[in-house]
């Protein structure tokens, strides 16, 4: 929430400046709102208090710059020792913080809770005529007399409070895990409120939805000018970076995380994913953090929303210093084994095997032995010695040993939750399940409706296809206005239903596997410069597409690729496009010799299916005189949205991603016997496609 209208406030603030390597003091104000006494209880949330508690613990124990506990203010219901997040408390906290900060200080702001929209108090300040509002705990209803929601925190006021902090010379990073969309969104019912949407329709606040629609419709088409407006102002104020959980017309979910853990808690998906990335990449830039968040959204199928990132994204987070990904931690001996300050937030889980290294600089082959993690909490884990690769951990260990996370195999299985029993479509699926399981093989794992899964099969009685089996993401949220596939049941017998569902689910799994592979390999393996470019027509200049924030393309926009091989050997380049309909298109394959430059037009955006889409540029070292690697075999047709009746280790991974074999669920990226030459690289670019004028 607050993406568009807060950015309007940003535009009149002074331009951002370079930050010192380390802020003199670091402060945080964390606001989380679970309960809204003035609203029906069905609109209350469960995750915001857990969000701010998680963030507070990270800042005071893990952050790459020091946050003293006394400098971290938490306003949240449900958090011990915290004040209620009322409007007055929020205003007071901002006022106290503004009085405290000095030039060069750093301020982290976090907002978790409900957002909404209301007609703007001053329509001249808002391009769409709507104020975006964050809702404190003590909100009241819409007031016709005041023209606002009682005790709401309007975007203009948030912008002014941030402006006041920056005016003191403080550098500010604000994170908003909330949304304002009032669209009614269908979703599958999961057990024990597994998923909730941070979504509050206008009528819940007493606002007439038709009034919102009337105001918004008067300004359609005016927003584009705002997005391209430059920063303006002087150069003395502090900098500002903003992260948003969703675009202005999207909702953002909360669900129980981390996935698969018995003691998981309701968390904002955006907050938890952001903290995961920060825990592993504490020395990254804001842009790199944003790019990794986007990767995890697509790879884990977390949500259909598109997080947005604005500001000077080339800065290192927290005004800290750059560094590499953290994959090892210094261990201490405990009664139960070796203890490290890393846990589920760092991608660890019970049963994981870590190498014990004498020093952090040693090669993997110099491991003293190995431990298996027997207990894993959010921020800590305990490992016990095991025998592995002929090595037994010595009884006496040198001081300061390090536990290192080993390279992991990619899991190419997909977990699919069945719909709840009791409906005719669900019973039809039960009758077809044996045939479906045989057709899909071990790649697809079917579980009960109340279990966590990558995809949820659902029956939506109030939809336009009440007889269908709908295929929803892990949140169980139907993509309103977007692409949500479904398979009808009334016109099929068990065999036909199994065949249709198998085809649809297998195509989704293949597309997901390519995204998993792209995220695991990354774009750093080869010294090949790659830029994706676009233009609106043949007479327009090409402009580069950024990795973050997610670029928006409209129908008929052209997409081009520019690449230069800076290595001393040949490199094969393939370009694949994963559509919002799970189609995989192969647009180019070719070879770049050392020093060669590729400038290639690829395709135009069509209006067939629009939404969240991804481009993959796959670069692999090539042997001289070998044939050019052609990955066109990975292409596949789109998933029908309404189905009715009618070589090398890396090469192995690509084959497995495309279901070349059905006997394995996971494969290592670097199997034994591979040469130790330069590795492959995969650049993944997220794009949003929308209809043109």
CATH of the domain at 494: 3.40.50
pLDDT score recorded for residue 69: 97
pLDDT at 246 over 70: yes
> What is the domain range of residue 618?
510-690
> Looking at per-residue confidence, does 203 or 119 come out higher?
203
Is residue 154 located within the same domain as residue 224?
yes
Average pLDDT in the chain? 83
- Residue range 558-582, pLDDT digits in tens: 999 999 999 999 999 999 999 888 8
pLDDT score recorded for residue 277: 96
pLDDT at 666 over 90: no
Least confident of 113-117, 313-317, 469-473: 113-117
pLDDT score recorded for residue 121: 52
- Residue range 359-418, pLDDT digits in tens: 999 999 999 999 999 999 999 999 999 999 999 999 999 988 999 998 767 788 999 999
pLDDT at 6 over 90: no
Q: What is the pTM of this model?
A: 0.85
Is residue 636 located within the same domain as residue 602?
yes
Is residue 312 located within the same domain as residue 336?
no
The upper half-sphere exposure of residue 252, i.e. CA atoms within 13 Å in the direction of its Cβ, equals 31
**Residue that finishes a domain, picked among 406, 423, 443:** 406
pLDDT score recorded for residue 297: 87
Is residue 191 located within the same domain as residue 276?
yes
Phi, psi (degrees; rounded to nearest 5) at 677: -80, -170
Q: In this structure, are residues 241 and 210 in contact, taking their beta carbons and an 8 Å threshold?
A: no
- Residue range 169-190, pLDDT digits in tens: 999 999 999 875 434 334 444 4
The upper half-sphere exposure of residue 405, i.e. CA atoms within 13 Å in the direction of its Cβ, equals 19
pLDDT at 157 over 50: yes
pLDDT score recorded for residue 227: 36
Phi, psi (degrees; rounded to nearest 5) at 464: -80, 0
Is residue 38 located within the same domain as residue 152?
yes
Is residue 540 located within the same domain as residue 662?
yes
Is residue 312 located within the same domain as residue 186?
yes
The closest alpha carbon to 139, from 148, 128, 147, belongs to 148
**Residue that finishes a domain, picked among 366, 389, 406:** 406
The closest alpha carbon to 181, from 477, 462, 614, belongs to 477
pLDDT score recorded for residue 644: 60
CATH code, 553: 2.60.40
**Residue that finishes a domain, picked among 380, 406, 432:** 406
Is residue 308 located within the same domain as residue 218?
yes
Q: In this structure, are residues 118 and 156 in contact, taking their beta carbons and an 8 Å threshold?
A: no
Average pLDDT over residues 134-160: 82
pLDDT score recorded for residue 4: 38
pLDDT at 72 over 80: yes
Is residue 64 located within the same domain as residue 187?
yes
Per-position b or e across 167-197, b if 16+ CB within 10 A of its CB: bbebbbbbbbbbbbbbeebbbbebeeebbbb
pLDDT score recorded for residue 516: 87
pLDDT score recorded for residue 420: 92
- Percent of the chain topping pLDDT 70: 79
- Residue range 86-107, pLDDT digits in tens: 999 999 999 999 999 999 999 9
Is residue 68 located within the same domain as residue 178?
yes
Task: Report the number of distinct structural domains present in the chain.
Answer: 4
CATH code, 333: 2.40.30
pLDDT at 247 over 60: yes
Average pLDDT over residues 419-434: 95
- Residue range 462-481, pLDDT digits in tens: 888 999 999 988 877 766 55
pLDDT score recorded for residue 612: 81
Rg (CA), the chain: 26
pLDDT score recorded for residue 555: 86
pLDDT score recorded for residue 8: 36
Is residue 16 located within the same domain as residue 121?
yes
Average pLDDT over residues 669-692: 70
């Amino acid at each position: 929430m607050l993406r568009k209208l807060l950015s309007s406030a940003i535009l009149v603030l002074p331009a951002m400046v370079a930050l010192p390597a380390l802020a003199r003091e670091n402060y945080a104000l964390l606001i989380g709102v679970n309960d809204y006494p003035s609203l029906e209880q069905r609109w209350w949330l469960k995750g915001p208090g857990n969000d701010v508690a998680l963030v507070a613990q990270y800042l005071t124990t893990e952050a790459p710059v020091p946050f003293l506990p006394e400098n971290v203010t938490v306003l949240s219901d449900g958090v011990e020792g915290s004040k209620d997040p009322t409007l007055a408390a929020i205003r007071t906290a901002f006022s106290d913080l503004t009085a405290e900060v000095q030039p060069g200080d750093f301020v982290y702001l976090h907002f978790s809770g409900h957002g909404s929209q209301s007609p703007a108090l001053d329509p001249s300040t808002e391009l769409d005529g709507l104020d975006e509002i964050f809702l404190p705990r003590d909100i009241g209803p819409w007031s016709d007399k005041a023209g606002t929601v009682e005790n709401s925190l309007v975007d203009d006021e948030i912008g002014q409070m941030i402006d006041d902090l920056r005016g003191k010379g403080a550098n500010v990073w604000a994170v908003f895990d909330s949304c304002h969309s009032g669209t009614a969104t269908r979703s599958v019912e999961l057990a024990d409120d597994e998923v909730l949407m941070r979504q509050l329709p206008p009528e819940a606040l007493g606002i007439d939805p038709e009034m919102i629609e009337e105001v918004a419709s008067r300004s359609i088409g005016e927003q584009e000018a705002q997005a391209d407006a430059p920063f303006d102002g002087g150069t003395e104020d502090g900098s500002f970076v903003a992260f948003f959980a969703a675009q202005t017309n999207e909702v953002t979910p909360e669900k129980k995380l981390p996935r698969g853990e018995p003691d998981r808690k309701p968390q904002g998906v955006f907050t938890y994913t952001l903290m995961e990335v920060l825990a592993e990449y504490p020395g990254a830039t804001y842009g790199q953090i944003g790019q990794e968040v986007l990767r995890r959204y697509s790879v884990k199928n977390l949500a259909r929303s598109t997080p947005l990132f604005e500001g000077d994204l080339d800065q290192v987070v927290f005004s800290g210093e750059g560094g590499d990904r953290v994959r090892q931690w210094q261990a201490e001996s405990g009664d139960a084994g070796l203890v490290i300050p890393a846990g589920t937030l760092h991608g660890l889980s019970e049963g994981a095997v870590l190498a014990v290294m004498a020093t952090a600089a040693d090669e993997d082959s110099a491991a003293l032995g190995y431990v298996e993690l027997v207990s894993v909490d959010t921020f800590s884990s305990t490992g016990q010695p095991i025998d592995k690769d002929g090595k037994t951990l010595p009884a006496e260990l040198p001081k300061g040993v390090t536990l290192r996370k080993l390279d992991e195999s990619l899991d190419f299985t997909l977990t699919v939750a069945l719909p709840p029993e009791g409906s005719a479509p669900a019973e039809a699926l039960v009758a077809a399940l044996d045939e479906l399981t045989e057709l899909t093989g071990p790649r697809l794992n079917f579980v009960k409706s109340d279990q966590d899964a990558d995809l949820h099969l659902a029956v939506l009685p109030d939809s336009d296809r009440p007889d269908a089996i709908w295929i929803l993401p892990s949140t169980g949220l139907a993509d309103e206005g977007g692409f949500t596939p479904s398979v009808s049941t009334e016109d099929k017998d068990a065999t036909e239903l199994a065949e249709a569902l198998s085809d649809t689910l297998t195509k989704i799994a293949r597309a997901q596997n390519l995204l998993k592979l792209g995220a695991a390999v990354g774009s750093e393996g080869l010294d090949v410069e790659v830029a994706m470019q676009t233009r609106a027509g043949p007479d327009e200049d090409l402009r580069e597409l950024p990795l973050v924030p997610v670029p928006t393309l409209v129908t008929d926009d052209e997409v081009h690729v520019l690449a230069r091989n800076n290595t001393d050997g040949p490199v094969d380049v393939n370009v694949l496009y994963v559509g919002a309909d799970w189609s995989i298109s192969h647009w180019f394959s070719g070879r770049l010799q050392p020093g060669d430059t590729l400038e290639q037009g690829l395709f135009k955006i069509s209006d067939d299916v629009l939404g969240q889409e991804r481009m993959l540029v796959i670069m692999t070292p090539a042997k001289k005189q070998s044939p050019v690697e052609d990955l066109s075999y990975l292409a596949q047709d789109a998933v029908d949205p309404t189905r009715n009746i009618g070589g090398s280790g890396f090469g192995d991974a690509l084959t497995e991603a495309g279901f070349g074999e059905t006997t394995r669920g996971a494969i290592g990226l670097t199997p034994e016997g591979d040469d130790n030459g330069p590795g492959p690289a995969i650049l993944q670019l997220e794009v949003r496609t929308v209809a043109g004028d």
